[in-house]
C-alpha cells in the first residue's frame, strides 16, 4: 500500500529528528545532500503537480522516488560547488529574515515604551487608556483632527481610471506609509466620485472582512483619494502626522475592540467610534522626537525587507540557471 503525504515545501534538517505523518524524509545517497535539497527546491512545483486528491492533495512514496533529482548529470564536485553558491545566498536570506523579525519586535517594544513612559523618565499617571507621562494629556481624535470619507468613481468610465491621482483601497494598506498605490484616477473622476485627502492624512480601513483580524492604518505621503471603505484622519495644528500614525499603531488593539458587525455580516468600524477614540498627546517637540526615534527603526526594517527581496530574486535566478546548467561555476 502506498504511503501518501501532503504535497508541500521542502526543507532540510540541521540535526537528527523524527518526522510525523504527512512528511517524507529523504536521505542523500550517491548525491550531495545540500545539492539534493536545492534541487528539490527547484523541482517543488513539478513535484506538487504529481499530487492527487481533491480534499487532501498528496503524493505517494513511489512517485516521489521516481523524480530525477540530477537532470544535469552533475558530478559530485560540481554538485558541491552549486550547493555552496546557493547555500551562501540562502544563508544571507535567512539572516535578513532574522533581522526583519528583530526590527519588527524592537519597533513593537519601542512603541509601547515611548507611549507609556515618554522620553524623559518623568513620573506616570493612570488614565482611561493606561499609564502615560504626567505632563501628557488624553484627547479624543475629534478634538485634534478632522475626518474625510471617500468614494469610488464609476467603473463604467475607463477614462476615470487613467489619471495620475493615487486612489487608495484596503488592498493597498499593507505598508505604514503610502507614496504610490495600484490604482490612479483622473481629475474628473475626483470631482465625480471621490475626494482628495491631503498629504499627512492617516488612513484607516472602516469596512471589510480584514477588520475581523486587524485595523490597517497608513500615512499618506502625498495627496491621495480613498474609497468608501476607508476614512482619512487629518491632523490639526496640535498634532503631527507621524505621531498620529504611531499613536494609532501603539493603541490599535483598543481601536480593534470597537469593530462591530453590520446587519449584512460585514465588519465595520463606525465613524463615531473613530471620532471618540482617545490618544495621549504631549507637546509637539516631544511628538517629533518620538516620531523620529520610531521612524529610524522603521527605516532599518524597510532596508532589511528590500535586501531580502533582492536576495530572494537572486536565489531564484541562480537556482534556475545553475540547475539547468545555463550558468557554470568555475
Distances in Å between the Cα of 107 and the Cα atoms of 112, 114, 135, 235, 291 are 9, 10, 24, 23, 12
> What is residue 3's predicted lDDT score, i.e. its pLDDT?
40
Q: In terms of domains, do 157 and 243 share one? A: yes
Can you give the pLDDT at residue 1? 30
60 phi and psi, to 5 degrees?
-90, 165
Question: Which of 99, 118, 7, 117 is CA-nearest to residue 53?
Answer: 7
Residue 258's nearest CA partner among 247, 248, 246, 243 is 248
The confidence score (pLDDT) of residue 5 equals 46
Give the global pTM: 0.82
For residue range 107-143, what is the model confidence (pLDDT) as tens digits? 999 999 999 999 988 999 999 999 999 999 999 999 9
Do 55 and 103 belong to one domain? no
Q: Which pLDDT score, from 0 to 100, does residue 56 have?
A: 62
Last residue of a domain, one of 261, 281, 301: 281
The beta-strand segments (E) located in 176-265 are 177-178, 183-185, 196-197, 202-205, 217-220, 224-226, 230-235, 260-261
Q: Are residues 64 and 190 in the same domain?
A: no
| 174 and 232 co-located in one domain | yes
CATH number at residue 298: 1.10.287.1120
Whether 66 and 123 share a structural domain: no
Which residue range forms the structural domain that includes residue 261? 137-281
In this prediction, the residues of the chain whose per-residue pLDDT falls under 70 are 1-9, 21-22, 53-57
Both 45 and 156 in a single domain?
A: no
Say whether both 43 and 9 belong to one domain.
yes
Angle, to 10 degrees, between the axis of helix 241-250 and the axis of helix 284-323? 70
Same domain, 109 and 149: no
pLDDT value of position 4: 44
Q: Is residue 263 located within the same domain as residue 321?
A: no
Write down the pLDDT at residue 193. Answer: 73
How many domains, in total, are found in the chain?
A: 3
Are 146 and 243 in the same domain?
yes
Amino acid at each position: 500500500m502506498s504511503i501518501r503525504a501532503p504535497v508541500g515545501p521542502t526543507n532540510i534538517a540541521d540535526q537528527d529528528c523524527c518526522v510525523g505523518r504527512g512528511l517524507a524524509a529523504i536521505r542523500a545517497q550517491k548525491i550531495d545532500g545540500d545539492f539534493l535539497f536545492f534541487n528539490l527546491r527547484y523541482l517543488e512545483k513539478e513535484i506538487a503537480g504529481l499530487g492527487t486528491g481533491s480534499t487532501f492533495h498528496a503524493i505517494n512514496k513511489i512517485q516521489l522516488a521516481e523524480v530525477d533529482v540530477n537532470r544535469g548529470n552533475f558530478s559530485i564536485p560540481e554538485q558541491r560547488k552549486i550547493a555552496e553558491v546557493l547555500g551562501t545566498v540562502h544563508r544571507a536570506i535567512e539572516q535578513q529574515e532574522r533581522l526583519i523579525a528583530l526590527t519588527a519586535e524592537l519597533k513593537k517594544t519601542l512603541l509601547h515604551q515611548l507611549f507609556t513612559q515618554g522620553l524623559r523618565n518623568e513620573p506616570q499617571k493612570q488614565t482611561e487608556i493606561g499609564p502615560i507621562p504626567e505632563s501628557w494629556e488624553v484627547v479624543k481624535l475629534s478634538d485634534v483632527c478632522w475626518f474625510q470619507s471617500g468614494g469610488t468613481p464609476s467603473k463604467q468610465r475607463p477614462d476615470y481610471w487613467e489619471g495620475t491621482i493615487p486612489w487608495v483601497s484596503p488592498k493597498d494598506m499593507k505598508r505604514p506609509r503610502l507614496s504610490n498605490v495600484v490604482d490612479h484616477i483622473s481629475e474628473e473622476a475626483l470631482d465625480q466620485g471621490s475626494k482628495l485627502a491631503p498629504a499627512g492624512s492617516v488612513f484607516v480601513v472602516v469596512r471589510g472582512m480584514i477588520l475581523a483580524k486587524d485595523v490597517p492604518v497608513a500615512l499618506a505621503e502625498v495627496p491621495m483619494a480613498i474609497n468608501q471603505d476607508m476614512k482619512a484622519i487629518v491632523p490639526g495644528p496640535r498634532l503631527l502626522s507621524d505621531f498620529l500614525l504611531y499613536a494609532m499603531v501603539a493603541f490599535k488593539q483598543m481601536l480593534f475592540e470597537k469593530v462591530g458587525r453590520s446587519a449584512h455580516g460585514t465588519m465595520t468600524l463606525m465613524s463615531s467610534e473613530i471620532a471618540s477614540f482617545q490618544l495621549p498627546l504631549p507637546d509637539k517637540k516631544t511628538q517629533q522626537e518620538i516620531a523620529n526615534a520610531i521612524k529610524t527603526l522603521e527605516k532599518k526594517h524597510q532596508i532589511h525587507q528590500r535586501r531580502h527581496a533582492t536576495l530572494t530574486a537572486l536565489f531564484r535566478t541562480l537556482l534556475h540557471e545553475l540547475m539547468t546548467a545555463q550558468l557554470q561555476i568555475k
